[in-house]
Amino acid sequence: MQEPTKYDSVYWVEVDRIQPNPYQPRREFEEAALKSLAESIRQYGILQPLTVTRKEVEKADGGIQSIYELIAGERRLRASKLIGLREVPVVIRAGEHTDKMKLELAIIENLQREDLNAIDRAKSFQQLVEEFGLQHNEVAAKIGRSREYISNSIRLLALPEAIQQAVVDKQITEGHGRALLMLNDRPEERDTLFKEIVLKKSTVRMVEQLARRIATDKIRKHDKTPEMMQLEKSLTETLGTRVLIENRPQGGRVLIEFFSPEDLSHIAAMIAERQEAQAHMSKEAEAAVEEVREASMPIHPNTTQLGHETPASESDDELSTVTNFVV
């Protein structure tokens, strides 16, 4: 947007007579940032005038009153109200009062200052497309961006409201959002991955790789038996992270996802604990089987019993003579 220059006439207008721009693309204004700006204005004043349009409206008593509608400078106006300023400097733009022009100017101003978050920017682009009939390449030409940039921004609006709000709240980035779009046809997996991003602070690259793998796994899923799918689910629940089983003509592989060295150590410890517990259970089972086997072994007279000592009453001398032999 063209900034006011020294050749523009600057007017002082009461803040109560300035209406907000109905096409303002920004929906989020951080309170802390507004207070900081208000304190700066208190000390140094408004260094750059607001940009407005003017229109004449008829008053209730039949008179004419000038009303000003904001094009650019919403944060400055809000900050001025916070510290109780009665008037602010403005530059009046003539001939720029169409709704499309107001939206275009507001978007361009925010983009130039990088004030818009990704979701508000996407909604603004969509508004230009739907309400004013512009093509993506036309929107791109107006703001000096590529057509792909416009299209990819608008695609973010296909995400659920909760994920969009997470982008606005800076819980996840725009890049995370684009990666999650790959799983839009698999909402359960997408929502699970979203929670993992927020919980484990995964990088965009890691999320892209995982989303791509899950999307590819959908194609390969017909190669898995129900038993393999159940095992995959069981391992995922046991280890607390996503586990994928890939079936191949010659064997296959098990993929266990982790998001940090600590996460990997935790998974390894869980596997080691389960192996140790199973080994302990195996030993106990073997001991129990041996006890049952020994307890159930019958004892027959005049025969040698495995595992039992020869009765003490029979001496070696008696065994070597025929004194007690009878027919």
pLDDT by residue (tens digit) across 78-98? 899 999 999 999 988 765 456
By annotation, the residues acting in catalysis are 74
Given a contact cutoff of 8 angstroms between Cβ atoms, the answer to whether 158 and 122 are in contact is no
Beta bridge partners of 57: 65
Q: Please report whether residue 234 resides in a domain.
A: yes
What the block records as the tokens of 99 is 């709704």
Question: Alpha-carbon distance 75 to 37, whole Å?
Answer: 8
Question: Alpha-carbon distance 109 to 112, whole Å?
Answer: 5
Boundary residue ending a domain (73, 97, 121): 97
Residues 26 and 70 in one domain: yes
Q: Please report whether residue 134 resides in a domain.
A: no
Q: Please report whether residue 158 resides in a domain.
A: no
Please determine, for residue 320, whether its predicted confidence score (pLDDT) is greater than 60: no
CATH code of the domain in which 18 resides = 3.90.1530.10
Residues 238 and 218 in one domain: no
Tokens 């079936």 -> residue: 247
Given a contact cutoff of 8 angstroms between Cβ atoms, the answer to whether 125 and 139 are in contact is yes
Q: Please report whether residue 243 resides in a domain.
A: yes
Q: What DSSP line would sit under 269-294, residue for residue?
A: HHHHHHHHHHHHHHHHHHHHHHHHHH
Separation of CA 37 from chain center? 31
Residue 169's closest CA among 189, 197, 191, 127?
Answer: 197
Residues 3-29, mean pLDDT to the nearest whole number: 72
Residues 12 and 72 in one domain: yes
Residues 218 and 230 in one domain: no
Tokens 């107001």 -> residue: 102
Residues 88 and 15 in one domain: yes
Q: Please report whether residue 64 resides in a domain.
A: yes
pLDDT by residue (tens digit) across 141-161? 877 788 899 999 999 999 999
Residues 127-132, mean pLDDT to the nearest whole number: 81
Given a contact cutoff of 8 angstroms between Cβ atoms, the answer to whether 168 and 197 are in contact is no
Q: Please report whether residue 213 resides in a domain.
A: yes
Boundary residue ending a domain (274, 292, 308): 274
Q: How many domains does the chain have?
A: 3
Residues 14 and 81 in one domain: yes
Listed in sequence order, the residues at least 6 apart from 104 whose beta carbon sits closer than 8 Å to its beta carbon are 128, 142
Question: Alpha-carbon distance 113 to 115, whole Å?
Answer: 5
Separation of CA 228 from chain center? 28
Residues 90 and 177 in one domain: no
Helices (DSSP H) in 133-260: which residue ranges? 136-143, 147-155, 161-168, 174-180, 187-200, 204-220, 226-239
Residues 260 and 214 in one domain: no
Residues 184 and 229 in one domain: no
For position 325, what pLDDT does the model report? 40
Q: Please report whether residue 60 resides in a domain.
A: yes
* Domain boundaries, position 259: 224-274
Q: Please report whether residue 305 resides in a domain.
A: no
Residues 297-306, mean pLDDT to the nearest whole number: 55
Tokens 């818009």 -> residue: 116
pLDDT by residue (tens digit) across 25-71? 666 677 887 888 888 888 888 888 888 888 777 777 777 878 888 88
Question: Alpha-carbon distance 167 to 170, whole Å?
Answer: 5
Boundary residue ending a domain (59, 77, 97): 97
Torsion angle defined by CA atoms of residues 190, 191, 194 and 196, in that order, rounded to the nearest 10 degrees: -110
Residues 218 and 231 in one domain: no
